[in-house]
Amino acid sequence: MPPTAEDSGEQGPPDPAVSPLDGLPTVRGVARPSLWLLLVPVVLYGLAPLVANRIEPRILGIPFLLAWVIAATVISPLAIWLAARLDPAYRTNAVEPLPADDLMGTGTEGGSR
């Protein structure tokens, strides 16, 4: 019997009707309020010129504006980490839905970039 593609381990061309995302968990329609935490860094840095644009009082010998920016730099990664941990997509290891994913089943060429 001659060897076939299955015997050699080669795979045939992928089926264009089957999406590579089929069977993976998604978060479509799920509320994601934890993403509001991503506004914390924006607000902290955005309010700096309005709230903290002064030299006095000094905190540990540095001007208040510099202390504000340092605090925002320390708080921002913590807020981003917390937003990721509380997000249901992170907890379920779900695939993020992208508009490009919807093109897979419309007959357009999905593999060319």
**Which pLDDT tens digits describe the chain residue by residue (113 residues)?**
555 555 555 565 655 566 655 555 556 666 677 788 899 999 999 988 888 777 778 889 998 888 899 999 999 999 999 988 888 777 777 766 666 656 655 555 545 54
Task: Output the pLDDT for position 77.
Answer: 95
Closest CA to 69 of 44, 102, 38, 90: 44
What is the pTM assigned to this prediction? 0.55
Count of Cβ atoms closer than 10 Å to residue 51 Cβ? 12
Give the domain ranges of the chain: 31-95
> In sequence order, which residues have a C-beta less than 8 Å from that of residue 55 and are 6 or more positions away?
63, 64, 65
> In sequence order, which residues have a C-beta less than 8 Å from that of residue 60 and are 6 or more positions away?
67
Task: Output the pLDDT for position 29.
Answer: 60
